[in-house]
């Protein structure tokens, strides 16, 4: 195996400082220089990689097509190369890319992993495909390119959101979710968290509460609730962790049977509708008591007990209507209806103590 590979590439003038190229290469040469790095976590809980698992059916469909004599594949795969790759100008618009592999593969597939995997299963050594590549300075830039390139594609949103913490210079619609994703990650992995291991993410498929539901609670709070009121950027994450940790700890205290050992199918408390609706209850209690301690949240939640139908029975709303417990769905309309009902019940709680503030 050679210690380096060379490709004649066409360079493109794009953003200032961006180094973007395209070239044709044999599949074997791409696999020798690039990894398909799947998203996961190491034994310390640190995130690595970014690709979703292989989709076997999709790979087989591509392979079946490519086995035909007249098959062509004009779509380029996208890869990101880290630091060691050199681009030497040859003539106007053309460059020679030198990709060293003596110390490992410097390339990572950003888009097109299913096509590349299908091609790797064929015995067509002469088959070339187009490769578009970006030379990245560091892993953060590589992840940023993956997020931006794939965010408009049908990738699992949980995968995209799990990659957001620690990546800067993102569009506003993504950066606004980055804090929520960071806090959700902490809630899912911090040893003292009442939600530890309970949140479903791409790297924690055994979780029962959808990450997007917890993120929605956080974003609602940041838009017009307790997290908006907490202006200190220095302590905001600590405050937010204690807020959610104490609140959902109180939820599990007040509704143990609807919380422990349940799934969204068996309990609407851990269902997206219940999680988000209870987030509004959290805000209501905080706005009245100005405290975030667990005992105060317990007192604020208790008035709900005789009126909830998390696992059985019927929800009886203030307008006289009723709904079977399992018919509450994760839609904006039903979440709003459930939230208004729960908040009105929570307002019957006694007033709490003065605020416990972090600064």
Please identify which residue in the block is written with the tokens 């937010």. 240
**Region of 99 on the Ramachandran plot (φ > 0 left; ψ -120 to 50 alpha; else beta):** beta
Bridge-partner residues for 128, per DSSP?
Answer: 26
What is the C-alpha to C-alpha distance for residues 356 and 283, in angstroms, rounded to an integer?
A: 15
- Same domain flag for 310 and 181: yes
Last residue of a domain, one of 155, 170, 200: 155
Residue 330 lies in a domain: yes
The pLDDT of residue 169: 60
What is the C-alpha to C-alpha distance for residues 252 and 307, in angstroms, rounded to an integer?
A: 17
The pLDDT of residue 353: 41
Residue 357 lies in a domain: no
Residue 206 lies in a domain: yes
Q: Where in the sequence is the domain holding 270, given as residue range(s)?
A: 159-346
Angle at the Cα of 198 from the Cα atoms of 257 and 237, rounded to 5 degrees: 115
User: What is the chain's pLDDT, residue by residue, as a tens digit (359 residues)?
Assistant: 678 899 999 998 886 766 889 999 998 899 899 887 655 565 666 655 554 555 466 677 777 777 777 778 888 888 888 878 889 999 888 999 999 998 888 888 878 888 888 888 877 767 888 999 888 878 777 777 767 766 555 556 666 676 677 666 665 666 667 889 889 999 999 999 999 999 998 788 899 999 999 999 999 998 889 998 886 767 888 999 999 999 999 999 999 999 999 999 999 999 999 999 999 999 999 999 999 999 999 999 999 999 999 999 999 998 889 999 999 999 999 999 999 999 999 987 554 443 343 33
- Same domain flag for 133 and 184: no
285 near 296, Cβ under 8 Å? Answer: yes
- Same domain flag for 66 and 137: yes
What is the C-alpha to C-alpha distance for residues 144 and 151, in angstroms, rounded to an integer?
A: 10
- Same domain flag for 59 and 119: yes
- Residues 177-185: contacts with CB within 8 Å, 24+ apart? 177/215, 177/219, 179/218, 179/222, 179/236, 179/237, 180/214, 180/215, 180/216, 180/218, 180/219, 180/222, 181/211, 181/215, 182/237, 183/218, 183/237, 183/240, 183/241, 183/244, 184/211, 184/214, 184/215, 184/218
- Same domain flag for 193 and 338: yes
DSSP helix, strand, coil percent of the chain (3-state; round to 5) = 45, 20, 40
Last residue of a domain, one of 130, 155, 180: 155
Residue 355 lies in a domain: no
The pLDDT of residue 138: 82
The pLDDT of residue 149: 67
pTM of the entire structure? 0.60
Cα 220 to chain centroid, rounded: 17
Bridge-partner residues for 89, per DSSP?
Answer: 95
Angle at the Cα of 20 from the Cα atoms of 19 and 24, rounded to 5 degrees: 135
The pLDDT of residue 189: 92
- Same domain flag for 205 and 70: no
The pLDDT of residue 352: 47
Last residue of a domain, one of 134, 155, 176: 155
Number of domains in the chain: 2
- Same domain flag for 146 and 168: no
- Same domain flag for 129 and 182: no
What is the C-alpha to C-alpha distance for residues 297 and 248, in angstroms, rounded to an integer?
A: 9
What is the C-alpha to C-alpha distance for residues 62 and 327, in angstroms, rounded to an integer?
A: 40
């Amino acid at each position: 195996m050679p210690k380096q590979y060379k490709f004649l590439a066409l360079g493109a003038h794009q953003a200032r400082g961006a180094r973007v190229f395209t070239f044709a290469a044999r599949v074997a040469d791409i696999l020798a220089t690039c990894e398909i790095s799947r998203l996961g976590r190491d034994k310390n809980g640190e995130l690595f990689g970014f690709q979703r698992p292989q989709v076997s059916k999709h790979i087989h469909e591509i392979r079946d097509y490519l086995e035909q004599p007249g098959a062509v594949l004009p779509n380029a795969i996208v890869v990101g190369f880290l630091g060691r790759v050199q681009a030497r100008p040859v003539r106007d618009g053309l460059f020679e890319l030198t990709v060293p592999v003596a110390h490992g593969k410097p390339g990572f597939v950003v888009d097109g992993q299913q096509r590349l995997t299908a091609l790797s299963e064929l015995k067509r050594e002469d088959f070339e495909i187009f490769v578009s590549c970006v030379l990245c300075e560091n892993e953060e830039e590589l992840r940023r390119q993956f997020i931006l390139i794939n965010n408009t594609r049908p990738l699992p949103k949980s995968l995209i959101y799990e990659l957001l913490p620690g990546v800067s210079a993102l569009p506003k619609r993504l950066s606004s979710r980055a804090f929520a994703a960071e806090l959700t990650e902490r809630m899912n992995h911090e040893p003292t968290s009442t939600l530890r291991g309970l949140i479903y993410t791409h790297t924690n498929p055994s979780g029962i509460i959808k990450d997007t539901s917890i993120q929605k609670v956080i974003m609602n709070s940041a838009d017009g609730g307790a997290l908006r009121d907490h202006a200190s950027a220095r302590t905001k994450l600590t405050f937010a962790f204690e807020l959610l940790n104490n609140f959902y700890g109180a939820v599990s205290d007040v509704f143990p049977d609807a919380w422990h050992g349940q799934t969204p199918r068996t309990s609407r408390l851990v269902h997206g509708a219940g999680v988000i609706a209870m987030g509004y209850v959290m805000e209501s209690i905080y706005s009245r008591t100005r405290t975030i301690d667990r005992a105060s949240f317990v007192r604020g939640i208790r008035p709900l007990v005789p009126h909830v139908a998390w696992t059985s029975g019927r929800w009886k709303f203030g307008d006289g209507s009723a709904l079977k417990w399992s018919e509450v769905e994760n839609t904006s309309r039903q979440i709003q209806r459930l939230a208004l009902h729960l908040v009105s019940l929570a307002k019957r709680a006694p007033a709490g103590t003065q605020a416990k503030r972090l600064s």
